[in-house]
Amino acid sequence: QKEVEQDPGPLSVPEGAIVSLNCTYSNSAFQYFMWYRQYSRKGPELLMYTYSSGNKEDGRFTAQVDKSSKYISLFIRDSQPSDSATYLCAMYTGGYQKVTFGTGTKLQVIP
């Protein structure tokens, strides 16, 4: 079993829809939870991160962590065609440990 599981999609939604992207994980030591966005043929870039449980909002994006269920989500409100990309979740225990990435979910927002 992988430490981090993520549905690869693809997920197609109409412009303006609310998008929900999710990851599950097995390592209860993970403390930091990140979402990276990767446009086609580009490197990933950090979108936002959350420490421990709870929600964090940044514009149209909300990251949610439920440590009791080992489940994290990224919500995108009023989705735009420019949001079309692959979204990778990433997790980290802290200290000088490596980051573990999910496989990514490909999102397409149709105008």
Partner 1 sequence: NAGVTQTPKFQVLKTGQSMTLQCAQDMNHNSMYWYRQDPGMGLRLIYYSASEGTTDKGEVPNGYNVSRLNKREFSLRLESAAPSQTSVYFCASSASSGSLEQYFGPGTRLTVT
Nearest distance from C-beta of residue 60 to partner 1, angstroms: 20
Give 65 or 79: the residue with its C-beta nearer to partner 1: 65
Distance CA 78, CA 30 (A): 30
| Strand 11-14 versus strand 105-110 pairing type | parallel
For partner 1, the closer of residues 61 and 92 by Cβ is: 92
Q: Which residues bind partner 1 (CB under 8 A)?
A: 4, 6, 8, 32, 34, 41-46, 49, 88, 92, 94-96, 98-99, 101-104
DSSP single-letter state for residue 41: T
